[in-house]
Amino acid sequence: MAQTRKPSRSKPQKTSAIPFFEPALFQRAIHPQSAISASDFSVAEIRRILLSADTLEKEEPLRRAKRLAKRRVALLFYESSTRTRTSFELAAKALGADTTLVSSLSSSIEKGESLKDTGITLKALGAECIILRSPYSGAPYLLARATGLPVLNAGDGMAEHPSQALLDLRTMLRFRGIKATAISEKCLRGVTVTICGDILHSRVARSNLLTLPRLGAQVILCGPPELLPEIASSMGPGIQVERDFDAALRRSQIVMMLRIQAERLAGMKIDLDDYRRRYQANADRMAAHAPEALVMHPGPIIRGMEITSEVADGPNSAIAEQVHHGVPIRMALVARALAGVKVDRR
Ligand code: CP
């Protein structure tokens, strides 16, 4: 006799903190002073942001601290961060803003509060701008639509990290002796930048790819096929894929190393000894193929993996300088975000 199956009782749905699809949200506009993708910035806008970074960096600190005195900036971090979080916070404080940090480990996010509800809560508490880091690509768009506030993307999943691309650009321009006033569609003409490593999972690479070719740079992407699909070269003009790191170095004035993002590999196995042999920036390789090249890395660096200490701490390394540029660039982005926001002090 056929057994009858009891109708299965569906389990209660757990509230999820991940972004979710809510069609009505997609009708809502994104605040124009948001910075979510590097493609949000025209070349003229990039110039304005870098000029603003120069001005704010040079400004007398007490005068600067009056610019956003008592304005409220929330930092919402669902992923760990050292450089981006600290520099955004220092930037907002240097402009006089009050900041608050909400992290997924010490807030109601842990209890299942959604990104939308967290954003609405922060707005109700007076936040005028939200700086978001999320493991989910596209999360900043949802937050911007849900709150109507300017949202600054501090890194979303594998998608983008636009403020990193701007501070990387400032590092490159200084290396080439190019002033912010000279930023144009051709200011990086004749410059070849190799980006080497885990391109597939890198939001930094993506934001740089949306920026550098528009300023005239050639970009060579380098890495093994599992971390760099061939199709990456179709991201735009001026972008090539080269599997031979030594050949890429010989053509480059700037090399940007990326770590393998172990947290996003999703079971992918990489032969690390082979990876080091083929793609590590080490002293012998750099001396042989690109002795004058500027060495960059967005961090965190994994010493002995994609880069050796000799190179990371060597005379051509701009890694600390990149971190330094984080504060002025993020001051400019926070000031831009709040410039058009009406203060509602009910
Ligand atoms: N470059 C970067 O995003 O570093 P953090 O993860 O430390 O912020």
| Tally of CA atoms within 13 A in the half-sphere of 193 that contains its CB | 29
Q: Are residues 108 and 175 in the same domain?
A: no
Q: Report the pLDDT averaged over residues 206-227.
A: 97
Confidence of residue 111 (pLDDT cuts 50, 70, 90): confident
* CB 86 less than 6 A from any atom of ligand 1: no
- Whether residue 2 lies inside any domain: the answer is no
Which residues 6+ apart lie within 8 Å of 178 measured at CB? 187, 188
Compute, in angstroms, the gap from residue 250 CA to the centroid of ligand 1: 28
CB neighbour class for 226 (10 Å; exposed up to 12, middle 13-18, buried from 19): middle
d(CA 316, CA 169): 16
Q: Is the pLDDT of residue 8 over 60?
A: no
**pLDDT at residue 107 in the model:** 78
- Whether residue 62 lies inside any domain: the answer is yes
Confidence of residue 119 (pLDDT cuts 50, 70, 90): very high
Compute, in angstroms, the gap from residue 299 CA to the centroid of ligand 1: 6
Nearest CA to ligand 1 atom 6: 81
Q: Are residues 156 and 174 in the same domain?
A: no
The better pLDDT of the pair 8, 299 is held by 299
* Closest atom, ligand 1, to C-alpha of 161: 3
d(CA 206, CA 235): 9
pLDDT tens sequence across 138-161: 999 999 999 999 999 999 999 999
**pLDDT at residue 28 in the model:** 82
Compute, in angstroms, the gap from residue 238 CA to the centroid of ligand 1: 26
pLDDT tens sequence across 241-272: 999 999 999 999 999 999 998 776 767 778 89
* Closest atom, ligand 1, to C-alpha of 155: 3
**pLDDT at residue 270 in the model:** 83
Compute, in angstroms, the gap from residue 5 CA to the centroid of ligand 1: 52
pTM value is: 0.91
- Whether residue 13 lies inside any domain: the answer is no
* Closest atom, ligand 1, to C-alpha of 164: 1
Per DSSP, the residues of 17-44 read: -S----GGGGGSPPPTT-B--GGGS-HH
Q: Are residues 167 and 188 in the same domain?
A: yes
Q: Are residues 110 and 205 in the same domain?
A: no
Paired strand residues for 192: 218
Q: Are residues 75 and 189 in the same domain?
A: no
Are the C-beta atoms of residues 116 and 142 closer than 8 Å to each other? yes
Q: Is the pLDDT of residue 336 over 90?
A: yes
- Whether residue 225 lies inside any domain: the answer is yes
Q: Is the pLDDT of residue 339 over 70?
A: yes
Q: What value, to the nearest 5°, has the Cα angle with vertex 344 and ends 339 and 346? A: 160
**pLDDT at residue 11 in the model:** 45
Confidence of residue 127 (pLDDT cuts 50, 70, 90): very high
From 84, 208, 264, 296, give the residue whose CB has the most ligand 1 atoms within 8 Å, as the site to mutate: 84
Q: Are residues 308 and 173 in the same domain?
A: yes
Domain containing 200 — which CATH number? 3.40.50.1370
Q: Are residues 168 and 315 in the same domain?
A: yes
Q: Are residues 143 and 181 in the same domain?
A: no
Q: Are residues 67 and 91 in the same domain?
A: yes
Give the three-class secondary structure for 275: helix
Q: Are residues 50 and 189 in the same domain?
A: no
Q: Is the pLDDT of residue 14 over 80?
A: no
Q: Are residues 173 and 72 in the same domain?
A: no
Its domain, for residue 249, covers 162-324
Compute, in angstroms, the gap from residue 24 CA to the centroid of ligand 1: 33
Q: Are residues 301 and 166 in the same domain?
A: yes
- Whether residue 90 lies inside any domain: the answer is yes
* CB 83 less than 6 A from any atom of ligand 1: yes
- Whether residue 128 lies inside any domain: the answer is yes
- Whether residue 346 lies inside any domain: the answer is no
Confidence of residue 235 (pLDDT cuts 50, 70, 90): confident
Q: Looking at the 3D structure of the chain, how many domains does it have? A: 2
Compute, in angstroms, the gap from residue 85 CA to the centroid of ligand 1: 8
* CB 135 less than 6 A from any atom of ligand 1: no
pLDDT tens sequence across 42-68: 999 999 999 999 999 999 999 999 999
**pLDDT at residue 3 in the model:** 44
Q: Is the pLDDT of residue 9 over 60?
A: no
